[in-house]
Amino acid sequence: MDALTIPGTVAALGEVTNYVLAAAAAAGLDEKMSYRLRLAVDEIATNVVTHGYAEAGLSGTLTIWADQDEKHLTVYLEDSGVTYDPHQALPENGPRPSLEEPPVGGLGAFLALAGVNQFHYQQIQGRNRSTFVVRRMEPTGDHLLLVDKDELRLNALARWLEEWGPAVSTATGKAHALALLAAWRFDAVLIDLAVASQNDFALLRRLQSEAEGRQGPVIVLASPVEEIEISRCIELGVVDYLHYPLDLALLKLRLQAHLARRDLQTEAASARLALDEMKHLADQLRLVILPLGIALSAEKEFDRLLERIVVEAKRICKADAGTLYLRAADDHLHFTITQTDSLGVAYGGTTGRPVPYSPLPLYDENGAPNYHNVATYVAHHGRTVNIPDVYQAPGFDFSGTRVFDQANGYRSISCLTVPLKRHDVIGVLQLLNARDPGHDLTIPFSEYHQLVAESLASQAAIVLHNHILRQRQEELQEFGRELEIARQIQASFLPVELPRPPGWEIAVRFRPARVVAGDFYDVFATSGGRIGLVVADVCGKGVGAALFMALVRSLLRAFAQRLENQPRSGPPASISDSEPDRPVLSETADALLDTISLTNLYLVRNHLQTNMFATLFFGVLDPSTGYLSYVNGGHNPPAVLNGGQVRLRLAPTGPAVGLRADARFEVGEAHLAPADVLLVYTDGLTEARDPHGVMLTEKRFLSLIPAQLESAGALLDHVESVVQAHVSVAGQYDDITILAVKRAG
């Protein structure tokens, strides 16, 4: 950049700042290094204006310019004021202030020299020149410090080392070195013996007293005749020495060896620390987490169990607040326990106080996963989220937390959210504000806290999962008992004994696909000597179909009372004179129509909203003549068989009951001759499926009926064997009901 010359006044110092920032931006310095360079140049420029010009009664100018190469940015500042070497103003044993928070009222030279990698002061032709050198990028490899009063030797060695690879900072004396050591972490320090031995080896003593061991190995550079001083340096912690004139190849090898040893020591220390942490964690698992898991397993009361999970998690992780969410079937995370110790707030658990917060939806109105809340995010991903400060956490919505804080004078800071996972995430544990007991401060949750919380959450998830399973098992057992009662009640709807009119045989098979069925049958004798035959199939399966079946069966029985008292009468007009012995069925037909129509009307008026309906076959048989009146309400057409062949099909005479109020039904009539068999069945028979999902079909099972069967029961045994052979291992798909009525030959 072109040089800038300005008056040496306080008012003009802003132009120096602007020039430095422009040079830093052009060199690509990061924000931290730009700040340090600006601070260093500002301090020296301010000293020049204040002390070099104003206090000395002089006036003059400041000239500033900058150069850069591939690695460095160099800024030069010249003035003609009073001679002022910043090295001489450095405190020898003073405090070490932070460059990020400079102290008020002094230590300008310290800040200037500590903030840059290299600083040089020269007098050139009566002018003071301060040179500031910074690396354009933070060192990614090793960072070395060279300390030597001989600036020519110092700069030559620095250039050679940087060509080799490491980043290098330089100091020309003890005070300058201390300033740099306070501001930077060096991987190795090379010190000329003259500086190292100054003031009874004060610099080495200072390095040796560093409690935190921040700096790397120290190497002394000396002449061969200084053996006694070298021995004293080694006593003070120096690890190696080299003689002048330096053999650069040997220096490189020795540096590489010490840096490699330093790396091994660092790795070993890290491994020891990790091992100590693992031992500590193992002790926590053995002495705290596992016993706690056993104690949780012994807890029988669910609310107390949930509360204890939160209390123990807060205790182990030293958290001020904790919340436990459980995932519900409605795809929400429900607050079950929430506690904040410092506020004395506790909801849920054994407190008896319901949690006043609304559940968190896991999905939005469009069905997309809700990732806005950290708890729902953790529930979806099953991974822990550790946030140092919730007010500085982009990507998550902590508006509810802010509202709570404002309402209660609280400040939520650190947040640890852990999934309770057993195959799937069944809940989320959230802890707030880890406390530092020694200083009563809120601190971030550490990696150790996270490991312990995850271990506790794993134990808690197992206990909760088992507890929920026990609850569900008890519910299922209760449901099973209720289903058994329902099965017994449904069985009571079926006839205990079937009528046995002379010359006839009636047999039934009833096979529910579940505990209760939507199929039913009824066979009853009327006072007029007739036999009522009913087979029905309610849409669907299970409990709902069984309840609807009970209703339909009760309606049919109630409305069929007229059939009980129907006398026999003459032949109907539809019967030909060639068979004058047929009975008259007109009054029976009227009663049958009334029964079906009234049942349909009741179902439509009172239960249409359930979308339930039933197909049914209701027939009235006169055993003395073999004549049958029937209504087929949308049911599979029963077959009349003789000699294994289908002689007749009884087609539907109306729709299923329960669909339409204006449904019309008609009565069909048929005659069962000697040796005829009436076979009535539900679609569970024809739709029986093999392991590949192929249905049995009506055509196939009818084709497999043999010509000769001894009885109606034998026919049904054969049909059942056909179904079982077809289904094989697939299991029963639907309820199956089969009714066979056989007239003697």
Q: Tell me what pLDDT residue 571 has.
A: 44
CATH number for the domain harbouring residue 98: 3.30.565.10
Residue 313 in any domain: the answer is yes
Q: Tell me what pLDDT residue 322 has.
A: 94
Q: Does one domain contain both 416 and 521? A: no
Provide mean pLDDT across the span 497-524.
91
Q: Is 50 exceeded by the pLDDT of residue 408?
A: yes
The answer to whether residues 8 and 59 touch, using CB atoms and an 8 Å cutoff, is: yes
Q: Does one domain contain both 641 and 727? A: yes
Q: Does one domain contain both 499 and 385? A: no
CATH number for the domain harbouring residue 627: 3.60.40.10
Q: Where in the sequence is the domain holding 120, given as residue range(s)?
A: 4-138
Residue 257 in any domain: the answer is no
Q: Does one domain contain both 401 and 499? A: no
Residue 357 phi, psi dihedral angles, 5° rounding: -105, 145
| Domain boundary residue, one of 138, 167, 194 | 138
Q: Is 90 exceeded by the pLDDT of residue 669?
A: yes
Q: Tell me what pLDDT residue 573 has.
A: 41
Residue 405 phi, psi dihedral angles, 5° rounding: -60, -45
Q: Does one domain contain both 387 and 458? A: yes
Residue 733 in any domain: the answer is yes
Q: Does one domain contain both 451 and 506? A: no
CATH number for the domain harbouring residue 435: 3.30.450.40
Q: Does one domain contain both 467 and 342? A: yes
Q: Does one domain contain both 322 and 417? A: yes
Q: Tell me what pLDDT residue 129 has.
A: 93
Quote the CA–CA distance of 314 and 431 in Å, as a whole number.
7
How many domains, in total, are found in the chain? 3
Provide mean pLDDT across the span 92-106.
47
Quick one: which of 267, 177, 163, 162 has its CA closest to 218?
177
E strand or H helix that includes residue 65: strand 61-68
Residue 198 in any domain: the answer is no
Q: Tell me what pLDDT residue 576 has.
A: 40
Q: What is this structure's pTM?
A: 0.46
Q: Does one domain contain both 633 and 722? A: yes
Q: Is 80 exceeded by the pLDDT of residue 25?
A: yes
Q: What is the mean pLDDT of the chain?
A: 85
Residue 212 in any domain: the answer is no
Q: Does one domain contain both 457 and 562? A: no
Percentage of the chain modeled with pLDDT above 90: 44
Quote the CA–CA distance of 707 and 718 in Å, as a whole number.
12
Q: Does one domain contain both 463 and 511? A: no
The tokens describing 634, both together, are 């949308």
Count of alpha carbons within 13 angstroms of residue 608, beta-carbon side: 8
Q: Does one domain contain both 358 and 430? A: yes
Q: Is 80 exceeded by the pLDDT of residue 276?
A: no
Q: Tell me what pLDDT residue 290 has.
A: 66
Provide mean pLDDT across the span 685-700.
91
E strand or H helix that includes residue 74: strand 72-79
| 3-state SS track over 524-575 | EECCCCCEEEEEEEECCCHHHHHHHHHHHHHHHHHHCHHHHCCCCECCCCCC
User: Which pLDDT band, with edges at 50, 70 and 90, does 284 fall under?
Assistant: low
